[in-house]
Structures are given as structure tokens and as C-alpha cells.
Amino acid sequence: MTEYTAGRHFDLVIIGTGSGNSILDSRFADWNVAIIEKGIFGGTCLNVGCIPTKMFVHTADIAATPENSAKFGVDETLDAVRFGDIRDRIFGRIDPIAAGGRDYRLRHEDNRSVTVFEGVAHFSGPKTLVVQPNDGSDRQVISADRIVLAGGSRPIIPDIDGLANVDYHTSDTIMRLEKLPHTLVVIGSGFIAAELAHVFSAFGVDVTILARSDRFLRDEDADISARFTELAKQRWDVRTNRGVIRVEQSGGQIILHAAGPAGTEKISGDQLLIAAGRRPNSDLLNPSAAGIAVTDDGYVAVDEFQRVLSTAGGVADGVWALGDICSPWQLKHVANHEQRIVQHNLLHPNALRAADHRFVPHAVFSAPQIASVGLTEQRARELGIRYVTTKQDYAGIAYGWAMEDETGFAKLLADPANGRLLGAHIIGPQASTLIQPLIQAMSFDLSARDMARGQYWIHPAMPELIENALLNLPLD
């Protein structure tokens, strides 16, 4: 017989301590609130995602400078990579933040009306949850007037024969390796694979990529994806159109059997990274018990106000969702936006605000960087939208000459009739920074001509890449 602790009722329950943890401020001081966290406080971005990976990427960028220094007349060598020091520096900053967030919620007087449950929660009925504490103590049944689902996502583990019997890593674990491997095999060709392949190869690891498709980052604009794939093949052993059919471990090596255009081949490495994407944690919540609708891709279904939809039609009363558990973008800045929307709507139920997902940008922090917002050219064609496009090479601007960059470019799509931008895609140095004025233009409905000629552009600086691209659009 399962033991349960008598139920408690709350004004609000928040599941997850990533962006969901930011909902509470002084306006909730008189609410009786429960927070449920099954893992480490702070969520994916802080602990295993955006922040530590970018700290590793920046370090990798420094380590990679000798590869390109000779063409500038500078001879550099990489003497050593002290991986343990790098790892400890990064997590020596991050881990105390996570611990501090937990301590704040547990002990600070600001949170005297907040109860923290450290464990796994699932629905047993509408607005009712069963929490299994991590310490193995009795399950607790709790209920609430309002529930926010902010439970995030987890790595996708492909169904490969033998995989469960080998010591593989995901992005959640590989950054805490004890030492660098000599060789690393990566399954996947998305942004996680692209970023971590850059990190480990810059640190001196021989990296092999096994990709199911014929190119990297296939959701990017086709020109961007093709250029990145071309450059990736110059740095790593990239094997496209490969399907891994079996994995085994022998003599300290992980051996993969992959089917490809020339038949089956064997690839071995010291470590294996599974970078096949992430899946929402909705299934862990037993959503059907609460009548919560889930999309075919496993995301909690929400409306424009971030209210959770019901399997019976309409909305599930009092249930909200934000972040990776409901958002196919799986981006921290989207989760933060949705958190602000949910926060407002909890406080102002009669004056709801809608989330704005019109122009969601993203970036890939590899070598080179990639950034994108809006429509790709292939998507514009699929939608039958009239558009014009242009490309501007880094090599065509003065600062591009300074960098001797011969591969990067910006690509814009615009409505030829009014000059409104439809999409922007950049591959090259500082792409994630350069795209921001284009996001601004799209968000505030600026035309390409107004954007280009309505302000000064510093010369010679990299933003001239954007200025020239805007001016080159063949508008009506």
C-alpha cells in the first residue's frame, strides 16, 4: 500500500524552477505558494544549457585562435588545455548560483509563504498533484487554485540497439567530464551537436559527427545550412546520411555500427555524445489525469495567453504553462517572455495579455556563429509569400577585410512592396549580436530603407554588414 501524507491546498503551485521560479515577486507575498523541483534549482539554461555551454564556447574560441593566426602574420601555438581548470571555473560560478537560489526559496524571509517540494510531481486529477519526494519519504497529495507548468525538457535518447549498455553522455553530463577524451563521437547534427563539437575540437579532441540527414542544422535557411556543413567538414569528421543501428563498448572504446551510402561501417571513440535534441517533460506529469491536452510532438497545448488547453475543449481552468514544456522553440528568452505573460495573467485575470511569438530569434554558438529570425527562404516559398532576397558577404565590408573573413554572410528576405523584413539569417563572427537590429526592425515594423538610411552606421564596424544588406534589397 502506498503511503501518502495528508493533502495541502495552495493558491498557486509552480512546477519547475527555471523561468517559472521568476514568477514570484513582492506582489505574490500574500499568496500561499508551492514550488516543486525534481532536480537542480535554476533549470536547464543555468545548469546544463545556455550559460555553461556559452562559457565553454568562449573558452573554445580562445583556444582556437592559433588555427587562424598565421594568415595575419602572427604565429601562435596552443600549449595546453587545462580542462579540469576550465570545468571548475565554469561550474564554480554556476553551482553556487543554483545552490543560492534553492537556499533563498527555502530559508529567506521573503519566502515565508512559499513551500518547496523537492521531488517529482504528477497529476492525479484536475488541479491535484502527487509529489514523490527525492528523499524517499511518503508521497504527498497537494492541490491548488492555480498551477503553472514550467517543467522544462530533457535530452532525447534514440532507440538504438545496445545504447542502454554503454556509457554515453548527453549535453546534461558531458561538460562535467573528469578529463578530455582523445576521441569523441557525436550522434546528431543540430545546434547542440554543432556547439559541443566546436568546444571539444578546439580543446584538441578528434570529433566525429554522425548525421542522419545530408547536412547540419537543416531547420536553418538552406544557404546557411549548406555553408555551415561545408565548413564543418573542414574541421571535423562529418559523416552524413548515417543511421546508427547498434552500439557496444569494448576495451574502453565505444563502437558504433552505422548504415550509410556505402553500407555498414564501424566508428569508435573514447566518449559518445547523444545530441539528438530535447523533448518536453509533459509525459512525466500524467497530463491526461487532469484533462490536459498535449500536441502530437508532446508539448503541453496552450492558447495565446499561455493558458493550458483541455482535452474536453476550451482551457483547463487555472492551469498555465511556459517554457520548453509547451514551447517548440525551446529557448530561454522565449521562456522568460512567457514567464512575464503568465505572471501578469495570474495577477490580472480580467485583463489578460497574449504572448508575442511573431519574431522569435535564435543563435547557434559554434564556429562560425549563426543567428536567425523570421522566415527562411524555403518557408517563404512554401507559404506562397512574395519576397525578394539579398546576400551581403563579410568580405564585402571593411571590417570583414580586417578579419580576413571569406565565408560569412548575411541573408535578408523582405516584402518588395513595402520593404518590411520577412527574415534575416547570418553566418559569421558575432552573428548573434549583429542580428539584434534586424529583430528590432521586424518587431517595430521598420522598413529596410528607413532602417538603413534613418540612422548613422559606424564605419568601419561590423554592423555595416547589416547596412549594406538592407540597401541591397531589390525593393519595388
Name the residues annotated as catalytic: 459
Burial class (CB in 10 A: 0-12, 13-18, 19+), 49: buried
Q: Which residues contact 244 (CB under 8 A, 6 or more apart)?
A: 158, 160, 187, 210, 256, 257, 258
Do the Cβ atoms of 387 and 415 come closer than 8 Å? yes
DSSP string, 18-71: SGGGGS--GGGTTS-EEEEESS-TTHHHHHTSHHHHHHHHHHHHHHTHHHHHGG
C-alpha to C-alpha distance for 200 and 54, rounded to whole angstroms = 13
Q: Which three cell numbers stand for residue 345?
A: 495573467
Do the Cβ atoms of 272 and 256 come closer than 8 Å? yes
C-alpha to C-alpha distance for 280 and 155, rounded to whole angstroms = 9
Q: Is residue 300 helix, strand or coil?
A: strand
C-alpha to C-alpha distance for 370 and 425, rounded to whole angstroms = 7
Q: Which residues contact 393 (CB under 8 A, 6 or more apart)?
A: 400, 408, 409
Which among 325, 209, 197 has a CA at the least distance from the CA of 256?
209
Q: Is residue 14 helix, strand or coil?
A: strand
Beta bridge partner(s), residue 390 = 412
C-alpha to C-alpha distance for 287 and 311, rounded to whole angstroms = 10
When computed from its CA atoms, the radius of gyration of the chain, rounded to whole angstroms, is 24
Cα-based angle 303, 346, 134 (whole degrees, multiple of 5)? 90
Omega into 368 within 30° of 0, i.e. cis? Answer: yes
How many residues are given for the chain? 476
Cβ count within 10 A of residue 234: 8
C-alpha to C-alpha distance for 186 and 200, rounded to whole angstroms = 11
What phi-psi label fits residue 389: left (phi over 0), alpha (psi between -120 and 50 degrees) or beta? Answer: beta
DSSP classification of residue 379 = H
